[in-house]
Structure 1
Amino acid sequence: MRNIRLFWQIFPACVGITLVSMLLVVWLATTTGRDFYIDHLKEEIRERALLIGPTVAVLSRGEERPFQEFVRQTGRRAATRITVVDAGGVVLADSNEDHALMDNHAQRPEVAPALTGETGYALRHSRTLGESMLYAAIPVKLGADEHRGALRLAIAVTPVETMLALLHKKMLGICLAVIGLAVLLSLYSARRISRPLEEMKRGAEQLTKGRIDQLVKINSEHMSVEMAGLAASINEMAEQINRRIRIIIQQRNELEAVFSSMADSVVAIDADKRIIRMNQAAAALFTLPSEVVKGKAVEGVIRNAYLLEMIDFTLTHNAPQEQKVTLFNGADPILLQTHAVPLRDEDNKSMGMLLVMNDLTKLNRLENIRQDFVANVSHELKTPITAIKGYVETLLDGALDDQDNARRFLGIVIRQANRLDAIVDDLLTLSRIEDREKKEEITLMTGEAGAVLENALQTCAVLADEKEIIVQVDCDDALYAPMNLPLVEQAVINLLKNALAYSPSGSLVTLRCHGSRNRHGEAFVHISVIDNGPGIGKEHLPRLFERFYRCDKARGRDQGGTGLGLAIVKHIAHLHNGTVEVESVPGKGSTFTITLPAAPREQQEDGAD
C-alpha cells in the first residue's frame, strides 16, 4: 500500500469530519424544523375544522345555496380551502372551485380515514391551486339523515417552504463559514503536528547519510508534551549517534592511516574471494592501483599458486596459516613471510580473511651483506695479523740472531701493521661518514670543483711518479657546488689512488670536471676519474661499491688496498645528495663519476668573489 504523508492523513480527515458533521446538523435542523411546522399546521387546521364542523353539519340540513355560500365565504375569510364530501366521495361544496366539476374524493388519502370516523392528513401538490397544500379531514354528519361525511380543510405550506429555503441558505452560509474555519484550524493543527515530524525525518536522514556536520536540532517549543518528549529523545539520540559517528570516523581514519602506512603488504578478501581493500604496499607489490582492484576476484589480481592455496585453505577451514612464499618481479625473486588470518563477524562467523605479506628480500639481502662483511673484515684483518704473528714467532725462535733476516722480517711486520692500521682507519672513516649521513650533521659550503681536482693531484703526485703515470686535469671553468671540501677531496683521492694502482706504468689517467643541466633546468657538477687499466666485468659492477668487495681478491691485496675506498666514495656522494657511477669495458679501462648538485648562480658569484 502506498504511504501517505501525515499531513494528508490529518488534514482531509479533520475537514471531512467537520463537513459531515455540518451536513448532519443542517439536515437534522431542517427536517426537525419542517416536521415541527407541519405538525403545528396540522394541529391548527384540525382546530379550524373542529370549529366550523358543527356549523357545516347544521347548514347541510337546509337549502343547498346558503350552505355552499357559507363554505365559500368562510374559506376566503380564513384563507383556507374548505371542501365538504359526502359518504360516497361526492364533493358537496368547495370554497375555491365549482363542486360540480370536481372529481370524486373518496380515495383521497386524507378523506378516506375521515369517512371511516378518523382524522386524516395529507401533504401534496395541488394541481388545482398549483402549490403544495396540507390537507386535514374530520368526520361530520351531513343532511337530514345525518349520514357520515367529511369536512376537509387545506392550507398552503408555501410560506413554510419559503421559510425553510431561507433557513437552508442561512445554514449553508454558516456551514461554509464553519468549514472554512475548520479548514484553517485543521491546516494549522496538521502542520503543527507534521512539521516537527518532518524535522525529525530530516534529522534522521542527515544521520543516515552521515552528515554529522549538518545535524538538525529539533526545537521543542510550542509542541505538545508528547511531541516535545519525542523531540528531546530524538535530539539526545542524534547527539549520541553524532558522538559515536565522530569516534568511528576518527578510529577509521586512524586505521586507514595505519593501514596505508604499513610497510607490510595487506590484502582484505571477503568470503566470495573478492578483494575488499589493498594497501599501498600490496598495490606496489602486485603493480596494481589499490582503488581499481576493489571488488575484483582475487584470482585476477594474485596469480601466485601458493598464495591462492593459502587463501582457499583459510576461507575453507577458517583457520590461520603462515608460510614463506616467493614471488618474481620480472627476474628478481621476492621472498615473502605470509600470514593468512580469517576475519569473523560479531557472531564469530567467517566473513573473509586478511592476507599479510612481509617482504623479507631486503632483510635477507642485508643479512647476506652482513655475513659477507663479517667474513670479509675477518679475512682482511686475519691476513696481516697472521703474517705479523708468524714472523714474530720466527724471530722469537732464533731469527733475531740473523741480522739480515731479522731486518727483513721486521720490515714485513711493519708493512702488515701499516696495512692493519689502514683498514682500521678506513673502517673508522666509513663509520663516521655513515653516522654524519644519518644525523645529517655536515656543513656544506660553495666550493670550486677545479680546486678539488688540483688538491687530489698534489696528494697523489708521488704515487703517480713512482709508476710513471701521467695525470692530466680537464676541468671547465667556474664550476661550483655546495660541498664539504675535505670529504669530496678524500672521495676523489680514493678514486685516483685506485686508478693509479690498477693502471699500467706509462699510461694516462684523466681528472675531468664538467657541468650539465636536466630537462627541469637543474644544474649538476660531474667529477670523473678516467684510467686505462684492465677494466671491470659487468658481473662485478652492481656490487663494486660494497665494503671489502674485490673483483680480483688476490690482485687487490697485492695492490695494498683495504677494500673500503669505493664504499667511502659512495657514502660521501650520498652525504652531498649526489651519486657515484662507474662505466667500464674489460681491457679498455674504467670511468668513475661523482655527480653533485651545482650551487645556485648567486652562490657561484659569491664564491668567485
Structure 2
Amino acid sequence: MTKFRWKLTALFMLLIGLSVLAAGILTGNTYTRNHQAALEDHMIRELRVLDAMAPWPTDGDQSSQSVYLQSLAQRFKVIAGMRVTYIRADGVVMGDSDHLPQTMDNHLTRKEVAEAIATGTGSSKRYSDTLKMNMLYVAITSSVKDADGKHGVIRLAMSLSDVEGSLNKMWLALVFGLFFLFVLAAIVSYRVALSVTRPLEKMTSVAKRIANMDYAIRVPEGGKDEIGELGRTLNAMAGSLQGQLDEIRQNGARLQSVLDNMTSGVVMIGHDGRITLYNQQAELLLGSSARERVGRSYSEIRYHYELLNLIRDGLNMPELVHEELTVYYPEERLLRIGLVPMTMSGEEEPGLLLVMQDITAIRRLENMRSEFVANVSHELKTPVAAVKGFAETLLSGAMDDRDTAISFLTIINEESDRLNRLIGDILELSKIESRRSPLQFSPIDIPHFLNRMTELLYADAAKKSITLDVQSEPELFLEADEDRLGQMVMNLMQNGINYTPEGGMVKVRAEFVAGEDGEDSDIVRITVSDTGIGIPKKDMQRIFERFYRVDKARSRSSGGTGLGLSIVKHLVELHNGTIRVESTVGVGSRFIMELPMLHQ
C-alpha cells in the first residue's frame, strides 16, 4: 500500500506540476504580450506627439529635408531615449538618430514599415544587425504628406534588453513562486494521498486477516464518504462471515460430538480409497487412531483382511451391503458391517460410508439365552423324567411290593423337591435380574446375623461332621437388605458344606477393609472359605455363570441347581459390591465379598 500511496502522490504532483507549469507559461506569455502591447501603445502615443510637434517637412529639396529630419531624429532621441527614424514612402531612410541615412538599406520591406504604410501603424520585434540586440520597432505614417503627396513613416525603436531583464525577473519570481506552490501542492498531495490510502491500508490489512479466517477483526469507523461506506460494508461482511462460521463450528462440534459418542464405528472413504472420517468408536473397534488413518488409503489398515476385501468390493461395485464378520485385532469381536455408497462433497464418483456395530455382547447374550433355555430344559427334564418313570412303574404293579413302593415314592419326593428348588431358583434369578423386587436397606448387626446363619446350617454341617468357624469384628454393622444378605451368605456357606468332605471346616470372617492410611474404611469384607475339593483354574472365570457346575455329578448328588453362585453375584452387584473367588484344587476355596457399609 505504501507504493500505491507514493504512486498516488506522484500522480497528484504530476497533475499539479503540469497545471502550475501551464498556468505559469500562460501567465508569463500573457504578461509579456500585455507588457509589449502597453509599450507599443506608449511608443505610438509618443510618435503621434512627435509628429504633431515636428510634422514632416514639405518645403525644400530632398537633401535639405534629410538634414532637417536627421537633426530632429537626433534631438528627439535625447528627449525620448529611443531611436528615431524617418522613412520616405518609398522606403528610403531620410533621417536616423543612430546612423547616417546614406549608409542604411531601403526599409520598405521592414514589417513595421509595410504595416504602417498599409494601415497607418505597425510594429515588429526582431534582432537588429546594426545594433546587435533585440529591438522593438513601432511605426506610424506622418500626418503631413511629403512633396510627392505621400505619407512618410516615423519609426521609434526601443531596445528590449531592459524589457527582457524585467521579464527575466518576472520569470524568476514566477519560477520561485511556482516552485513554492509545487512544494506546497506536493505536501497537500501527500496528505490527500495519505488520507485516501491509510483507510485503504487498514482495509487491506483487515481483508487479509479475514482471508485468514480472523472474522473478529474490524475496520475503524470512518466518515460518511465512499471509503467510510466501504469500511462499514467490510465490517458487515466480516460480521456476517463470523456469524456463519460460528454456526458452522457449532454444527461441526455437534456433529463431531455425535460421531464421538456413537456406539457405532463410522468410517468415510472417498472414491480414491482415502479415509476422510474415522470416529472414536472406529478407533476402538479397529485398533488404530484417526491420526494414523485420516488422509491415508484404507488398504493400509492391517490385521483386517476380510474387512479390506469388503471395502474393495464396495468401491468397485457401489451398492448397499450388510455383513457380519469377525475381527481379531485389537481383540476378537463380531461386527455387523453396513456399507452405504455415497457421494462426498466436491466429488463426482461415489465413496463409501462404513458403519460398524459391535454385536459380540449381543451374540454372547443370545448364546447365553440359548444355553439357559437348554440348561433349564435339561435340568427340568431330569427330575420330571424320574418322577414319570417311577410313577409309571408303580402304576404297572409295583404298588403291591411295599418296600419297592416306599423306595420309589421316596425318590419321587426327592426329585419333586429338587424340581421345586430349581423352579424357585429360576424364578428368584429372574426376579433379581429384572429388579422386580426392590431392596429394603436397614442396619444389620453382623455378629448377630452370622450367628443366626450358623444356627440355620448347623444341622447340615453336623451330618458331615463339618466344623463351622464364624468370627466377626465386634459391633460391626452393615447397611443392606437383610433377607438378600442372608441369601448370599447362606448360599456360600451351603456350597462350602456341600463341597467339603466329612470332617472338614467352613470358616466365615467379617471385618472392615483397611484403608491406605491404616484406618478402617467404609467397606465391609465377608469371607467364606472351606477345606473342600477346590475349583480348577480353568473353571474360575465361569463359576458365577448360570447352571455352570465344576463337578456335575457331585452337584447333582448334592442337590445343587447350578444357580446359587449366579444369584449371589447378582445380589452383590445390587448392593454395589464385588465378589471374587480364590481356590486351590484339593485344598479348598475362598469366596470374598466386599460391600459398602452405607448406601446413599
> Which band: TM-score by shorter chain?
0.7 to 0.9
Q: TM-score, normalised by structure 1?
A: 0.77
Q: 1:207 to 1:160 in 2, by over 3 A?
A: closer
Paired position in structure 1 for 2:546: 547
Q: Following superposition of structure 1 onto structure 2, how do residues 249-328 of structure 1 map, counting pairs within 5 Å?
A: 249-291=249-291, 293-328=293-328
| Alpha carbons 1:581, 1:593 under 8 Å: kept | yes
| Alpha carbons 1:286, 1:302 under 8 Å: kept | no
Q: Secondary structure at the match of 1:460?
A: helix
1:68, distance to aligned residue in structure 2 (A): 6.0
**Further displaced range: 242-251 or 71-80:** 242-251
1:458 aligns with 2:462: no
Q: Secondary structure at the match of 2:485?
A: helix
| Alpha carbons 2:510, 2:527 under 8 Å: kept | yes
Paired position in structure 1 for 2:77: 75
Q: 1:150 to 1:66 in 2, by over 3 A?
A: closer
1:511 aligns with 2:514: no
Deviations 1:218-248 (CA, angstroms, capped at 9, x unpaired): 9898356x9969967995x778766655654
| Alpha carbons 1:528, 1:593 under 8 Å: kept | yes
Paired position in structure 1 for 2:224: 222
Q: 1:20 to 1:52 in 2, by over 3 A?
A: same
Deviations 1:59-112 (CA, angstroms, capped at 9, x unpaired): 994499976664354234334344679999999754xxx759xxx98799x996
Paired position in structure 1 for 2:213: 209
Paired position in structure 1 for 2:119: none
Q: 1:374 to 1:230 in 2, by over 3 A?
A: same
1:426 aligns with 2:425: yes
| Alpha carbons 2:267, 2:275 under 8 Å: kept | yes
Q: Following superposition of structure 1 onto structure 2, how do residues 409-558 of structure 1 map, counting pairs within 5 Å?
A: 409-436=408-435, 441-445=438-442, 447=444, 449-476=446-473, 481-514=478-511, 515-517=513-515, 524-558=523-557
1:464, distance to aligned residue in structure 2 (A): 0.8
Q: Which amino acid aligns with 2:31?
A: G
User: Unpaired runs of 5+ in structure 1?
Assistant: 604-609
1:467, distance to aligned residue in structure 2 (A): 0.8
- Which of the residues 113, 122, 126 maps onto 2:125? 122
Q: 1:41 to 1:576 in 2, by over 3 A?
A: same
Paired position in structure 2 for 1:607: none
Q: 1:497 to 1:28 in 2, by over 3 A?
A: same
| Alpha carbons 1:577, 1:597 under 8 Å: kept | yes
| Alpha carbons 1:84, 1:92 under 8 Å: kept | yes
| Alpha carbons 1:577, 1:596 under 8 Å: kept | yes
Q: Following superposition of structure 1 onto structure 2, how do residues 398-409 of structure 1 map, counting pairs within 5 Å?
A: 398-409=397-408
Q: TM-score, normalised by structure 2?
A: 0.78
**Further displaced range: 32-41 or 519-528:** 519-528
Q: Following superposition of structure 1 onto structure 2, how do residues 547-586 of structure 1 map, counting pairs within 5 Å?
A: 547-586=546-585
CA distance, structure 2, for counterparts of residue 265 and residue 91 of structure 1: 127
**Further displaced range: 513-522 or 273-282:** 513-522
CA distance, structure 2, for counterparts of residue 3 and residue 105 of structure 1: 70
1:541, distance to aligned residue in structure 2 (A): 1.6
Paired position in structure 2 for 1:370: 369
Paired position in structure 1 for 2:329: 329
Q: 1:88 to 1:487 in 2, by over 3 A?
A: same
Q: Secondary structure at the match of 1:329?
A: coil
Q: Which amino acid aligns with 2:469?
A: Q
Paired position in structure 2 for 1:606: none
1:391 aligns with 2:394: no
Deviations 1:125-181 (CA, angstroms, capped at 9, x unpaired): 999899x8644478999x9999x9994511542445556666676777777777877
Q: Which amino acid aligns with 1:421?
A: N
Q: 1:139 to 1:356 in 2, by over 3 A?
A: same
Q: Which amino acid aligns with 2:491?
A: N
1:369, distance to aligned residue in structure 2 (A): 0.7
Q: Which amino acid aligns with 2:317?
A: H
Q: Which amino acid aligns with 2:279?
A: N
**Further displaced range: 446-455 or 121-130:** 121-130
Q: Which amino acid aligns with 2:280?
A: Q
Paired position in structure 2 for 1:32: 30
**Further displaced range: 78-87 or 569-578:** 78-87
Q: Secondary structure at the match of 1:350?
A: coil
Q: Which amino acid aligns with 2:327?
A: L
1:561, distance to aligned residue in structure 2 (A): 0.8
Count of equivalent residues: 582
When the two chains are superposed, the root-mean-square deviation of aligned CA atoms in Å is 5.1
CA distance, structure 1, for counterparts of residue 277 and residue 339 of structure 2: 15
Paired position in structure 1 for 2:158: 154
Q: 1:16 to 1:353 in 2, by over 3 A?
A: farther
CA distance, structure 2, for counterparts of residue 537 and residue 106 of structure 1: 155
| Alpha carbons 2:529, 2:589 under 8 Å: kept | yes
1:435, distance to aligned residue in structure 2 (A): 2.9
| Alpha carbons 2:123, 2:136 under 8 Å: kept | no
CA distance, structure 1, for counterparts of residue 297 and residue 475 of structure 2: 61
Paired position in structure 2 for 1:350: 349
CA distance, structure 2, for counterparts of residue 467 and residue 270 of structure 1: 73
Q: Secondary structure at the match of 1:534?
A: coil
Q: Which amino acid aligns with 1:324?
A: E
Q: 1:218 to 1:51 in 2, by over 3 A?
A: same
Deviations 1:309-352 (CA, angstroms, capped at 9, x unpaired): 2222333334443333221136x532222222233046772263
Q: 1:165 to 1:395 in 2, by over 3 A?
A: same
CA distance, structure 2, for counterparts of residue 444 and residue 105 of structure 1: 152
CA distance, structure 1, for counterparts of residue 357 and residue 423 of structure 2: 37
CA distance, structure 1, for counterparts of residue 290 and residue 106 of structure 2: 105
Q: Following superposition of structure 1 onto structure 2, how do residues 4-23 of structure 1 map, counting pairs within 5 Å?
A: 17=15, 20-23=18-21
Q: Following superposition of structure 1 onto structure 2, how do residues 92-171 of structure 1 map, counting pairs within 5 Å?
A: 93-94=96-97, 113=111, 121-122=124-125, 134-136=136-138, 151-155=155-159, 156-157=162-163, 158-159=165-166, 162=169
Paired position in structure 2 for 1:592: 591
CA distance, structure 1, for counterparts of residue 598 and residue 129 of structure 2: 128
| Alpha carbons 1:105, 1:111 under 8 Å: kept | no
